[in-house]
Copies of this chain bind each other. A is one copy, B any other.
């Protein structure tokens, strides 16, 4: 931990008031007891939007999976320990957190691989007449968020190349104007990984649909952080990772959502044997399973998958609306503390102040941001650095409290003074 510089009198006053406020907010926080469900230490961990903290129930479960299910039952566990059905079972566990009814999600593969499935399947559906399956036009263009997390753009480029489409990067706000009868699908990021901006999922989905295109959403930075409403807003396909706000562990498998009405038309570019109607029939010809199972591919990575399943238990009886309310309160309070502690002009907030446009992170532009983040980490505040000049602080309402926010801002202020 770095030594705090000696504070001058007015600053001491501010520190004291803000510090007291943090205590009061924590005392009034109904979600505060959830922190006990995680393994934490005296570090302020604001990097849960990169890798969520370890839920306390996970280590024992993983030991049971390794020692008993693998070590003792061995191959019998595919049935007896429920390994075979884990992708759809865990999909159904995540579903309510993103506003999806059961039977529309599977877990498995990485986000990148799921993006490929979703994009290619969307273009194929569009070739049958767009998102509503009506009479067809030639739809040979994919639109992608121009500020997307890079892998989405790379994979969209590949999907476009392999389906004879053109890829067109467009700023999300300009998507409505860019849509046309040629648009097959639009791939959006729900929350911008860099700035923390929350995009208008209902409005942009409706705009895509009005043009007859399919809407695909990448929920990596929103699943587990805020209500998504996949079913309510008629999203067609969605993907997301499970190791950020869902705390599934490093590289835990991603999820794929396929809206029920589209499942019969979901034509996967990765038709592995796990998605076959009779996977153990060992048939030479492929026949797709019905439902969400169609999104499966090969043998699922059981250790990572069942660690995720255990991690999801912390969500029992936790309403996503309450998580969202705390997230906004936390980021509001953090920004207040930053204003109180950080020298004027030293940072610029890239994250929108309007609640409707804010995810669960705060991104601050700052000189020498890479070096500043190193010093923050040395001072016990872990966020991350996104080149060229962004300090990124993620707020996971399940285990981050207001005192954490106050301390992070205070140490940031000390670092920049």
A residues near B (Cβ < 8 Å) are 39, 41, 45, 47, 50-51, 53-54, 58-59, 62-63, 66-67, 69-72, 74-75, 77-78, 83, 109-113, 116, 120, 146, 149-151, 153-155, 157-158, 162-163, 169, 194, 241, 243, 249-254, 268-274, 276, 280-284, 286, 297-305, 307, 382, 384, 386-387
A70 vs B56: C-alpha distance when bound (angstroms): 11
Q: Which residues of B contact A74 (CB under 8 A)?
A: 45, 47, 51, 53-54, 382
In contact, B59 and A271 (Cβ under 8 angstroms): no
Pull 10 A–B residue pairs with CB atoms less than 8 Å apart, ordered by A: A39-B71, A54-B74, A59-B63, A62-B303, A112-B297, A149-B273, A155-B271, A158-B268, A282-B386, A303-B307
In contact, A110 and B109 (Cβ under 8 angstroms): yes
A307 vs B149: C-alpha distance when bound (angstroms): 29
A39 vs B130: C-alpha distance when bound (angstroms): 54
Q: Contacts A54-B66, A109-B113, A154-B276 known; list 18 others, CB within 8 Å.
A: A47-B74, A51-B78, A70-B250, A112-B272, A112-B297, A150-B276, A153-B284, A153-B286, A154-B271, A155-B270, A157-B271, A169-B284, A250-B301, A251-B302, A251-B303, A302-B304, A303-B307, A304-B304
In contact, B41 and A72 (Cβ under 8 angstroms): yes
Total copies of the chain = 2
Q: Which residues of B contact A307 (CB under 8 A)?
A: 66, 303
Q: Which 7 A-B pairs have the closest CB atoms?
A: A110-B298, A112-B272, A112-B298, A250-B302, A54-B71, A151-B273, A301-B304
Partner of A116, one of B47, B51, B151, B270: B270
Partner of A158, one of B75, B271, B301: B271
Name the distance in Å between A144's Cβ and chain B's nearest Cβ: 10
Q: Which residues of B contact A69 (CB under 8 A)?
A: 250
Name the distance in Å between A191's Cβ and chain B's nearest Cβ: 15
In contact, A299 and B110 (Cβ under 8 angstroms): yes
Instruction: Evaluate whether A110 and B51 lie within 8 angstroms (CB atoms) in the complex, with A154-B276, A303-B249 already known.
Output: no
In contact, A70 and B249 (Cβ under 8 angstroms): yes
Instruction: Evaluate whether A387 and B281 lie within 8 angstroms (CB atoms) in the complex, with A241-B299, A303-B62 already known.
Output: yes
Q: Which residues of B contact A387 (CB under 8 A)?
A: 280-282
Name the distance in Å between A146's Cβ and chain B's nearest Cβ: 8
Q: Which residues of B contact A253 (CB under 8 A)?
A: 301
A63 vs B307: C-alpha distance when bound (angstroms): 12
Name the distance in Å between A357's Cβ and chain B's nearest Cβ: 21
Name the distance in Å between A89's Cβ and chain B's nearest Cβ: 15
CB nearest to A69 among chain B residues: B250
Partner of A299, one of B47, B243, B297, B386: B243
Name the distance in Å between A131's Cβ and chain B's nearest Cβ: 22
A227 vs B53: C-alpha distance when bound (angstroms): 42
Name the distance in Å between A343's Cβ and chain B's nearest Cβ: 27
CB nearest to A56 among chain B residues: B71
